[in-house]
Amino acid sequence: MRPDRRLLVAGGTPGPEVIRAAVAAARPRAEAVATGPAVRLLEDGLQRRATRAIIHRIGPAGLTEIPDLPSASVLAPDLPLDHLHGELRREVDETLGLHPIGVVLDGETPVSFCYPTLVTERYWDITIETLEGYRRSGRAAAAFFRVEREMRLTGRQPVWGAAENNPASLALAAKLGFVPVAEVGWIE
């Protein structure tokens, strides 16, 4: 979504000259996602270590119904966002107007968010953020189901990527009915 964002994607065993060219073109900074031997090549080229991420899709049984979730809505442009921290605020601002953002409110204040960060013609990558003090209460699931309903109307399916060092995200993915289908290296 950001014009200054560079995302390198690599699989297999690209030649070192291909990696060097891609890294040079992505300067001053890029994020990367890679599989197989390409993970190490991009780590070397970007001089940063990858985090192992588990990619999930909706399992054969479909999404899990979760009773008694809080009410969620689509973020309206006039709701206050001054309470959000830097990265979340930037992503919400960039997404607002392009894609739906599922939110759960505390009064008039949005405290849990779900929105697509990467969108292709068939899939959307799930981003969920719930503010400290509001977690572990079903808000993230409610926000997800709200935006999933909107994105389903576009014909796109959700994809859940969770870093292996994020047990809360891995647990929520499983609870919602997602199953692991692949692993990638993610370099921020």
107 conformational bin, left if phi > 0, alpha if psi -120 to 50, beta if neither: left
Q: Select the more confidently predicted residue: 160 or 2.
A: 160
The pair of structure tokens assigned to 29 is 């900074």
Question: Residues 108, 102, 32, CA angle at the centre, nearest 5°?
Answer: 125
- Judged against a pLDDT cut of 60, whether residue 3 lies above it is answered with no
- Residue 1 banded pLDDT, cuts 50, 70, 90: very low
What is the average per-residue pLDDT within 77-102? 92
Q: Select the more confidently predicted residue: 24 or 153.
A: 153
State the DSSP string of 119-158: E-SSEEEEEEEE-TTS-SSSHHHHHHHHHHHHHHTTT-EE
**Structure confidence by residue, pLDDT tens digits, 107-161:** 999 999 999 988 999 999 999 999 999 999 999 999 999 999 999 999 999 999 9
Please tell me the predicted confidence (pLDDT) of residue 49.
93
How far is residue 49 from each of residues 21, 32, 34, 44, measured CA to CA in Å?
19, 10, 12, 8
Residue recorded with tokens 């390409």: 38
pTM: 0.86
What is the average per-residue pLDDT within 79-102? 92
Please tell me the predicted confidence (pLDDT) of residue 185.
94
Please tell me the predicted confidence (pLDDT) of residue 92.
95
What's the gap between Cα 178 and its chain centre? 14
**Structure confidence by residue, pLDDT tens digits, 29-80:** 788 899 988 898 888 888 899 999 999 999 999 999 999 999 999 999 889 8
Please tell me the predicted confidence (pLDDT) of residue 14.
86
